Copies of this chain bind each other. A is one copy, B any other.
Amino acid sequence: MTETATPTDIESAVLEACRRAKLASRALATATTTVKNDALHAMADALVAHAPRIVEANALDLERGRANDMSPGLLDRLALDADRIAKIAEALRYVATLPDPVGEIRRGSTLPNGLRLVQKSVPMGVVGMIYEARPNVTVDAAGLALKSGNAAVLRGGSAAASSNEVIVAVLQEALEGVGLPKDAVQSIDAYGREGARVLMNARGLVDVLVPRGGRSLIQAVVRESTVPAIETGEGNCHVYLDASAPLERAVPIVLNSKTHRVGVCNAAETLLVHRDAAPSLLPAVLGALHEAGVTLHVDEAAAGFAPDGVPTVAATEDDWATEYLSLDLAVRVVTDMDEAIQHIGRYSTGHTEAIVTSDIDAAQSFVARIDSAAVMVNASTRFTDGGEFGLGAEIGISTQKLHARGPMGLGELTTTTWVVYGDGHIRP
């Protein structure tokens, strides 16, 4: 597709790609687990075999990135070398070891009239993935879609376009090598933003969209897409220290939730402390956070508990609503659990909230009243993770309520079909 392609050209090209994906998805839907696992290994082998070609294409992306003043962090996420490619290939082999999510019987019964009813998991069909400048996601998404019997139409962002083009070509060759259609994995990077827009509106051809990336990307997909999308990854997570929270649990859980890894959606962004516990807990908690390099955005009450030598900044309304993804933490003293829950209800993105408490009734009440994908009782928010939950590969962490909520494994890339067996049954 040249630079002069019109929106109409792009629309037909992308819709045609989706149509071919739909056709390919029919072959994937009936592929056995063995064939799919063979394909995953073939894909891994091919990536390793073609590593030099991929690295060469990646160099073009990096060059363009540097010319466009891409940040060092983004350049690092974009960069591929033989080692990284080997790791990406290993991840495909790992997906091959996971149970096949297709064909699982979810429910079933024999009805009073003798009809036998089975609800079984089946692939979605065509999964659209929209993500940013990370070529490893191209492989990851292709592998997860394949294992769950879905065709994938990938839109990876222009910054990684050269890498993605070669990677997808290599994966397609591997698919054909095991007798699967190459259209099962396609990239529409060549069609730019207009192509992404067409993908988001290819209702009927694309069965689900999974955006993976930052807030603005995900919000754009949710807003513009008529294809059902799964909202992932925004995490304004809270830790609440209840009146009965013991210091020896409070400090490590707050520290771990905030500082274990800061750029991730399950990191804590706000600390709420019951006012009865503030005098005994806050000085130590704030001191430990400061030592760990955390900037403390505190309300007036919390400021009063900062030990000497621990600087704080006054929190504004914005702080409560911000997912810092950095060594910053908002801190507020609350009157009681009610106020904590109100605060969370107002500012949370519905990802993960934690309570630290010794009181069984307080724990039960918190769990019952929090409306988020995950609630931690006396554990770090960092545990909300597909790998930690034992779900195998993680597609993302859904913060919406429809279809999937919390860490999504391969099973969340399937839907179900009811199969009904009769012997001539008609409705009386």
Interface of A toward B, CB cutoff 8 Å:
26, 29-30, 109, 111, 115, 117, 119, 122, 124-125, 203, 207-208, 222-223, 226, 228, 230, 248-249, 252-253, 255-256, 260, 345, 367-380, 382-384, 388-390, 400-403, 405-407, 415-427
Contact = CB atoms under 8 A, between A and B. Distances in A.
Contacts of A228: 228, 400-402
Contacts of A207: 401-402
Contacts of A416: 405-406
A208 B402 contact: yes
A402 B368 CA distance: 26
Given A30-B369, A380-B427, 14 more contacts: A26-B345, A26-B371, A29-B368, A29-B369, A207-B402, A223-B226, A228-B228, A253-B426, A367-B417, A374-B418, A377-B420, A378-B421, A378-B425, A383-B425
A115 B253 contact: no
B417 A375 contact: yes
A98 to B, nearest CB: 16
Given A379-B425, A420-B374, A401 B124 contact: yes
A109 B389 CA distance: 9
Given A111-B390, A377-B420, A401-B208, A426 B382 contact: yes
A422 B230 CA distance: 29
Contacts of A420: 374-377, 379, 383-384
B26 A375 contact: no
B367 A427 contact: no
20 contacts: A26-B369, A30-B369, A115-B388, A119-B406, A125-B371, A125-B401, A228-B400, A228-B402, A230-B402, A248-B424, A253-B425, A255-B426, A260-B426, A374-B419, A376-B422, A379-B420, A402-B402, A405-B418, A406-B416, A407-B418
